[in-house]
A and B are shown apart, each in its own frame.
Chain A
Amino acid sequence: MKLTDITPAEWTTYVGLLTIEQKDLIVGQQYTTDSFFNPIQDLNDNWVISIEEMNYCDNNDYLWVKDLDLIIYDPKVQVNPF
C-alpha cells in the first residue's frame, strides 16, 4: 500500500516503513520548511515516519519518502510515567 492509496481520514492509521539506512538519511533533516523528520520505532521495532511527513515533504532530496510502503501503525506500549 502506498500514500496515494489512503484517504486523509486514514492518516493516523498508517505510517511509512523505513529501512535503517533510510532512517539514518532523513533523521534531523527538513521535509519542508522548518519541519524536521522524526523517525520512531513501532511495537515491532520497525523504523517509521508519519503520513504527514510523507505527504508534506517538498524537499527534493527526500521526495522518495512519498513512495515508501505503508504499514498499519502499531505503537509501542507506553508506561505512563506519571
Chain B
Amino acid sequence: MSYYHHLIKSGVPLGALTTAWIAATSETDTTIISALNTLETDLTTYGLTAKIKALYPMVGGTAAKHKFNFMDARDLDAAYRLTFNGGWTHSSTGALPNGTNAYANTFGTQASFMAVGSGHMSYYSRTTGITGQNQYEMGNYGGAGYTTLAVRNNDKLQGHINSASLPFTTANTDGKGFYVASRISATNLIQQKNSTQYTATAVEAYSAGNIVIGAVGTMGTPQAWSTKECAFASIGLALSSTELTNFNSAMTTFQTTLSRNV
C-alpha cells in the first residue's frame, strides 16, 4: 500500500492517530498522509493531543472522508463522527456549506468536549464572506449560554465558549483564516485569528444541544447558515495563549503542505 511506501521513503513512522485515520478512510494520497502525520507530531510536541477531543482535518475530498474525527476515527456517533445534512460541496480544499440548509452534526454537546472553565472551538475558513452576513460557522446555543464561533458575522469575529452573553466581538472584514475561541477560566476568553489574539471577560454559563458545523445548533433547527468553506475544525478543552500560538503554527504547516493555506 502506498502509505507504507511513504513510510519507507520518508523514514518517518506514522503516528497512531494517522494510522487509524488511514484505516478508516483508505486514504492513499501521500501528501495528505504526510500532512496528517506532521500534524499529529506537532500536536504531541506542543502538548495539545489530550486537549483536543474532536478534530476534523477535512482532507480527502469527500463526505466519506471528511466525516471522521481524527482523534477517534471510528464510524460512530459516540466517536463524534460527523453526519453532513443539506447542501455541502466536498473537495480537496475542504467542505463548503451552502448557506441555505447545510450543517454537520458532531453528536456532542459542550459537556462532551469541554469542562468547567475550559473549552475551545476552532475553524479554518477559506472564504472571505461579504458585509451584512448573519452567519455562524459552528457551535450551539440554548440553555443558559452560548458556545458559538462566527468568523465574520456582520463584520465581527465572535467567539464564545459557554458564555452567558455575547459582549466580546472583534471587527473583522475578511473571513479567511484560522480562528479559535478558547475559554481559559470561569471569566476569561481568548479569541484568535491566525497569529493575533484578543482577550476579554465573559461570565460562564453552559449551552445546550449538539454542537454543529456549518451553522449554529439550537434546541431545534440549526440557524445562521454559513457559506465559509471549512478546511479544519476542532473542539476540546481550553488552549492557553502559548498553546494557541503553537496551534496556529501547526495549522499553517498543515494547510501549507496541502497547498490550501489562505
Contact = CB atoms under 8 A, between A and B. Distances in A.
A70 interface: no
A32 interface: yes
The A interface is mostly helix, strand or loop, or mixed, namely loop
Given A50-B98, A81-B141, A33 B63 contact: yes
Contact of A36 (B83, B99, B148): B83
Interface residues of B, number: 27
Interface in A33-82: 33-40, 49-53, 56, 73, 75, 78, 80-82
Contacts of A37: 85-86
Given A53-B86, A53-B87, A82-B166, A11 B64 contact: no
Contacts of B146: 82
Contact of B224 (A32, A34, A78): A78
A37 B86 CA distance: 5
A34 B64 contact: yes
Contacts of B148: 82
B86 A33 contact: no
Interface residues of A, number: 24
A33 B85 contact: no
A12 B226 CA distance: 12
B75 to A, nearest CB: 9
Interface of A: 11-12, 15, 32-40, 49-53, 56, 73, 75, 78, 80-82
A11 B98 contact: yes
B261 interface: no
A82 B142 CA distance: 11
B93 to A, nearest CB: 16
Interface string B62-73: 111001000000
B249 to A, nearest CB: 31
Contacts of A15: 100
B63 A38 contact: no
Contact of A50 (B83, B102, B158): B102
B223 interface: yes
Report the 5 A-B pairs with minimum CB-CB distance, sorted nearest first: A52-B87, A50-B87, A38-B86, A34-B63, A38-B85
A49 B87 CA distance: 8
B88 interface: yes
Given A35-B88, A36-B84, A38-B86, A78 B134 contact: yes
Contacts of A11: 98
Given A12-B99, A40-B100, 10 more contacts: A34-B83, A36-B83, A38-B103, A40-B86, A51-B98, A52-B89, A52-B98, A53-B86, A75-B100, A82-B146
